[in-house]
Amino acid sequence: MTGIGVTKRLDRSALWAVLLAVASAPAISLGAEGGAVVVRPFETGPIGGYDTKTPAGVPLRVEYCVPADSTPDSPILIVIPGARRNTAEYRDEWIDLAVANGFVVVTPGATHEHFPTEYDYNAGGVVDATGRLRPQHEWLFSAIEPLFDGFRLRFGLRSRSYSIYGHSAGGGFVHRFLLKVPNARVDRAVAANPAFCTYPVPDNAYPFGVGGAAVSDGDLRAWFSRPLVVLLGDRDTGPRKHPLSNGPEALEQGPNVFARGLGFFRSALVESDRLGAPFAWRLEVVNGVGHSNTHMASHAVRHLFPE
């Protein structure tokens, strides 16, 4: 693996060269009904699922793994699936890593029935297919924080923050989520092999740029300060199959996922320089890996849970 880390304290010349070259207490919560206090004891349950709803009342499936040796203080990882929305499969691919590293996995299941397009899913529902900005409570992005709180309450977990990982469409979701939900309680984030990216430029309309998405320079500064790792497989060079992921705007970003991810990170560097903004993102290139969540997850875990 080739690892590249950049902060404002470091000389970036080496990075530019590479980019160019590779083109057990209970949990207590106030309930919704009459302010009653709801107390749930901690429990493990190691694999399962349940149904919930988004703030807009849209059905959302949740799949989870709470390893048997978990404690109330075990860290939580939210895993965002790719375009197939194969939620249980994504959860299952993280089970061995969760058991070995002592964390809990929760995976939102946004089905094609209720979130049919890439605008609804990859792009978080911020805009519709016409580019109209949608009310925030309708965004899929707006379901993540309530899902986290509901999951903690259900299992008696005490974590006050979480890590988040996504692959392919999920990788696109993760980096956009950090932009549009700046107060999300995220400790660490990994966007792996995003099918297409949101470049921090106003000339391109969201979700390919930030145009029309009500993004200010202050929002960009906050985005660049978030703990994001862009994780790319250097063999992720095949075409994508979905309208936005392989449409003209995506192809302008590059002929494949690897090229688009490199361009995205380069664009973020340029814009952070323009703004004089602190830059906390990292780029990691995984050699010999293509568009594979299984292989990317095994590399992502060391960024998400370095301890």
Q: Is pLDDT at 29 greater than 60 in this prediction?
A: no
What distance lies between CA 75 and its chain's CA centroid? 16
Q: Is pLDDT at 246 greater than 60 in this prediction?
A: yes
Q: Is pLDDT at 34 greater than 70 in this prediction?
A: no
Angstrom distance (rounded) from CA 77 to CA 221: 25
Q: What is the pLDDT of residue 307?
A: 77
Q: Tell me the residue type at 228.
A: L
Q: Is pLDDT at 30 greater than 80 in this prediction?
A: no
Q: What is the pLDDT of residue 42?
A: 62
Q: Give pTM, 2 decimals.
A: 0.87
Q: Is pLDDT at 36 greater than 80 in this prediction?
A: no
Q: In the chain, where are the structural domains located? A: 2-304
What is the per-residue burial (b if ≥16 Cβ within 10 Å, else e) of 139-166? bbbbbbbebbebbbbbbbbebeebbbbb
Percent of the chain with pLDDT over 90: 82
Residues 176-205 have a mean pLDDT of 97
Q: Is pLDDT at 18 greater than 90 in this prediction?
A: no
Angstrom distance (rounded) from CA 253 to CA 264: 8
Q: Is pLDDT at 10 greater than 80 in this prediction?
A: no
Q: What is the CATH number of domain 2-304?
A: 3.40.50.1820
